[in-house]
Amino acid sequence: MEPTSRDCGCWDFCREILPGVSRSFALIIPMCPPPLDRALCVAYLLCRIADTIEDEPDLEPAARELLYDACLAAVARPEDPDAARFFQDGWPARPAGAEGRLIGGCRRVLEAFGSLEPRLAGPIRDCLEEMVTGMRRSRPVETRGGVRFLCADLEDLDRYCHYVAGTVGVMSSRLFADHMAPGGFRADDAWMERGRRMGLGLQMTNILKDCRIDAARGVSFVPASLVDLGGGGYRPTPTGLGILIRHTIGHLQEAMAYVRSVPPGESGIRAFLLGSLLPAIATLEVAASDRWEQPKIDRVKMREIFDWIGRHAADNDAVAEWFEWHCLRTLAALA
């Protein structure tokens, strides 16, 4: 997101706040060609605002509903400063850290959103509306050991992941398809569905990575049938871990087919997608060992992956080989 002569402070804020709320997206969004980079930046920040409403533990239900309404109203009228102000004033207390700064600067995010062309803004607005609709439907299905379980089974987990991430996959696919159409690319239903599945796979990877941290704040997206609460702790059972990882790999394999369908000449889009997909399967490989409180890859591994993407993003055979090798290592670790 290089500044231009027509740039404004709203985009300065978006560039500055993005690394604070997502280091990974701050790395990969600039790989996309303009104006996709700006559209994806503001889309992520708006989705993060919705996530903050969902995640804030101290919000009363009525206040949360008010904030959802105000968020959607502000996205519908990004040029209206009163809509942004009403959303900000609806917070009984502003969240701490980068999320609090994002809420405090939401007017500038909305200004940036309002400056996008309608063909870019439309998919983002649709995504937010469906995402918030799903978040509002999320309710605990049971409570055990002080942990509220939000998904009854894998089907329920897929449904939750669709609302919070599959919607983003659909939105991104619409933006990519619009960008690539002049070059002859045609997005069919199967390709769009694979983009949605990529969102599910990435979200499930994050859920596995953070499940014990989520449980410490009294929430679990992993179904209770796949969890061991014995000894006062929380961890997926060995069987449950295998079920979750294999299920997630199924989504990520569809994501790999999705990425490989992007024309090799679209190096920025391919690098953006691989910058999420390859770290995800590498994270699952760590999670499969079940030795970590929060399984994640370190910065050295992340840099290795990004360097590899820089050399091989356009090579479908190399990409498939790298991905499948890590899938096999992940499945072997479960054995």
Confidence at residue 5, expressed as pLDDT on a 0 to 100 scale: 36
The answer to whether residues 67 and 54 touch, using CB atoms and an 8 Å cutoff, is no
Q: Residue type for 191, please?
A: W
217-240 tens-digit pLDDT: 999 999 999 999 987 689 999 999
Q: Which residue has the tokens 């740039």?
A: 7
138-149 tens-digit pLDDT: 999 999 999 999
Q: Which helix (H) or strand (E) holds 314?
A: none
Name the band, by pLDDT with cuts 50, 70 and 90, for residue 9.
confident
**Over residues 2-30, mean pLDDT:** 83
Q: Residue type for 209, please?
A: K
Q: Taking all residues of the chain, what is their mean pLDDT, rounded to a whole number?
A: 94
**Over residues 266-281, mean pLDDT:** 98
Strands 142-144 and 147-149: antiparallel
Tell me the domain boundaries of the chain.
9-117, 138-335
- 1, pLDDT greater than 80: no
Own/partner long-range contacts of 65-70 (Cβ < 8 Å, ≥24 apart): 65/136, 66/90, 67/91, 68/132, 68/135, 68/136
- 8, pLDDT greater than 70: no
Rounded to an integer, what distance in angstroms lies between the CA atom of residue 72 and that of residue 16?
24
- 7, pLDDT greater than 60: no
**Over residues 172-201, mean pLDDT:** 98
**Over residues 269-288, mean pLDDT:** 97
- 163, pLDDT greater than 50: yes
- 104, pLDDT greater than 70: yes
- Proportion of the chain above pLDDT 70, given as a percent: 97
**Over residues 169-191, mean pLDDT:** 97
Q: What is the CATH number of domain 138-335?
A: 1.10.600.10
pTM greater than the 0.75 cutoff: yes
Least confident of 47-61, 161-175, 254-268, 284-298: 284-298
Structure tokens at 32: 């996309």
- 319, pLDDT greater than 80: yes
